[in-house]
A and B are shown apart, each in its own frame.
Chain A
Amino acid sequence: MKSPIIQCQQLNHVYSDKPALCNVNFELDAGDPIGLVGPNGAGKTTLLSILSGFLRPTSGTVRLFGHPPGTAQLNGKVSALPQDARLDPSFTLTEQLFFYARLQGMTGQQATLEASRVLEEFALKDAAHEKPPVLSHGMAKRAAIAQALIGNPSLVLLDEPTAGLDPVNVRTVRAVIAEQSSTTTFIISSHDLTELDRLCRQILLLENGSLQTEKIRTDEQQTASRFITLQMEACPALEVIAKLKVLYGVLQVTNPQKNEFIVEYNPDLQPNMDQQLMQTIHTNHWQYRQLSHGKSLEEKLFFRDGNGTKN
């Protein structure tokens, strides 16, 4: 029987009388990247810190691969990108990554190759012999992510991996995660829902220190209708809504943001709604930007009544 890689039971953490996590229970299996989302102060970093062994929970139990976090048995199996952690300013990137690889049990030769590999993956080969103080924010961030991938760990916890990175580097990080996700389970905490939407099929939603599950479950049970998200170029919103609403099979059209429309439809009545929408766009000479099935993660998590109002 496949055992979960993470087990949290009755997890609580309190910072000087202020609760950060309240009775968090969950189990995660190895697989696709898992997103960890929630507003500021929801407890995401606290949860990742406990999973990484940086913080002891006030109460409750945590097991990674059957072992408590921070134990030597997890060396090389679990890795993390802690939020705001910086590398040692006294040593070059290569020296530090070499040292980390050695700590993971690699020989000197293996450690040299591995340090070089992860730096190359994040386009940092030219900066390999630089010390952290001379690196830009983006380079330092990529170096910090690179250290997390030394030795191909089975579980990688990433706290805000793309925060502060430019789009090119975000794409680099995304590509590496996507490529390694076949062998490594990533847990990614981020405010960038678009990014998580692209990478993750599972989401943990934390709000006020508690895992929110009920609202999402209700949403999942709505199998009778489907959604299509339509992003348009500048267009007459009222006219678009009016014309889409009258299409066969459409149940509701909402306009949560400027030039973005969510079409709720009955797939039994109109299974080819996407083609019908494309036809309407073409007929009316509108310019569209993107059409995608389903609602965006932002809509699913925070604006579930479909009217752009937060639950």
Chain B
Amino acid sequence: MVITIYPKLQFTYTRFFSGQSCYKTSLNREAKIMQPGFFNHLLLISLFELKRAFATRKGMLSLITFAVVWYFILLYPLRFAAELLVQEKGLKQDFGFLDFIGFGSIQHWSIPEFGVFWHFALIIFPMLSITLAADQTSSDRERGTLRFIVMRSSRDRVFFGRFAGVMVIQALLIGATAFSTFAMALYRDATLLSSALPNLLVLIVNLILVVLPFTAMMAALSAQVKSARQATVWAILIWTFMTGIISGFAYYLPALAFLKLLIPGYQLSELTQLSGWQTLQLAYIPVLQGLILLAFGRWIMARQAL
């Protein structure tokens, strides 16, 4: 019901001069404006996230830190390990030690640098994902900025747009690190170019799939908690307890072993034993996990007060 204030201020005597406002507007209501579709918004929102990562001070600082850390990984552990493997291959020594520490599959990679990179990347990128993707919506929601965006889009578009943006950022980082390893291998032996390119593609595709469920998990957590730090802490706690509980159940009731499929990164230990195109055999696991976690995250986002 509307309450109408009855007419007032038909005229007013006042001693104060009330100057006229001089604001001018160029209202362009007539201008043709097309309503953007779902994918258009997805693109705009993910591009804005790319801008945040690559064109803001905070983003640049994170990137420089990552680049420095990666430079030292590349320069020392990765290069030395690869050189060692090359030497040992030449000497036809056995790889019993590498088998013992779980790095035996390195010998199956035709380019040792990629073998070593593969093992490093399987540890580094999921961890990076938990921190890099932790703030997809949480701080914007706490600050109220998300309200400005949701008024012009929808919760689904913001949720998936942010997720897509973070995935692209990670894909670029994965690509950059893989290319730097590729360059290092070519520097050692330029004739490896033709054989290295397919392996490079396999590595990049695989690593993007590896970070997919972790990023989706962080998207869901970010939609629920109040800060990136909380999202990271919850991710570690949930992952640890989930792994412990499901592994415990599976030990006593082997029929429940399939529940391990729900643990992000469950396939990582098996992936380390594979090389080349074989690594894509397990691609269905992260894809499935990613879809389930995204559906869960979308459900949270739709119900969350902004």
Contact = CB atoms under 8 A, between A and B. Distances in A.
A27 B11 CA distance: 31
A290 B3 contact: no
A147 B145 CA distance: 11
Size bin of chain B's contact surface: 35 or more
A292 B153 contact: no
A176 B23 contact: yes
Given A103-B152, A105-B35, A201-B4, 5 more contacts: A86-B145, A121-B25, A152-B27, A172-B23, A294-B9
A289 B15 contact: yes
A85 interface: yes
Nearest to B152: A103
Interface string B118-160: 0000000000000000000000100111011111111101000
Contacts of A95: 51
A72 B5 contact: no
B281 interface: no
Given A26-B1, A176-B23, A294-B9, A103 B52 contact: no
A125 interface: no
Contacts of B144: 82, 84-86
| 9 interchain residue pairs of minimum CB distance | A85-B144, A294-B8, A175-B21, A103-B152, A54-B306, A82-B147, A90-B56, A291-B13, A105-B33
A278 interface: yes
Contacts of B150: 53-54, 70
Given A25-B1, A293-B8, A179 B44 contact: no
B12 interface: yes
B10 A103 contact: no
8 contacts: A56-B305, A70-B154, A75-B36, A85-B144, A104-B33, A110-B31, A117-B26, A204-B3
A250 interface: no
Contacts of B8: 197, 292-295
Contacts of A147: 148
B14 interface: yes
Contacts of A290: 12-16
B21 A171 contact: yes
Contacts of B303: 56
Do most interface residues of chain A lie in helix, strand or loop, or is the interface mixed?
A: mixed
A87 B139 CA distance: 11
Contacts of B59: 90
A87 B148 contact: yes
Contacts of B16: 290
A106 interface: yes
Contacts of B4: 201-203, 220
A183 B3 contact: no
Contacts of B143: 85-86, 88-89
A144 B51 CA distance: 21
A201 B12 contact: no
Given A79-B151, A201-B4, A179 B11 contact: no
Contact of B3 (A144, A175, A197, A213): A213
Contacts of B51: 91, 95
Contacts of B7: 294
Interface of A: 25-28, 34, 49, 52-56, 70-72, 75-76, 78-80, 82, 84-91, 95-96, 99-100, 102-106, 110, 113-114, 117, 121, 144, 147, 151-152, 171-172, 175-176, 178-180, 183, 197, 200-205, 211, 213, 216-217, 220, 274, 278, 288-295, 297, 300
B90 to A, nearest CB: 51
A211 B1 CA distance: 8
Interface string B91-132: 000000000000000000000000000000000000000000
Given A54-B150, A54-B305, A85-B147, A76 B21 contact: no
Contacts of B151: 52-53, 75, 78-80
A117 B140 contact: no
A144 B157 CA distance: 22
B26 A72 contact: no
Contacts of B140: 88
A28 B9 CA distance: 24
B188 interface: no
B34 interface: yes
Which of A34, A54, A110, A204 has the most B CB atoms < 10 Å from its CB? A54
Nearest to A205: B3
Contacts of A151: 33
Contacts of B21: 171, 175, 178-179
A100 B3 contact: no
B2 interface: yes
A204 B10 CA distance: 22
B260 interface: no
Which of B2, B9, B15 has the most A CB atoms < 10 Å from its CB? B2
Contacts of B33: 76, 104-106, 110, 151
A117 B25 contact: yes
B41 interface: yes
Interface in B44-68: 44-45, 48, 51-52, 56-59
Contact of A216 (B3, B38, B153, B154): B3
Given A53-B150, A100-B152, A103-B36, A204 B145 contact: no
A156 B15 CA distance: 34
A292 B34 contact: no
A217 B4 CA distance: 9
A295 B9 CA distance: 9
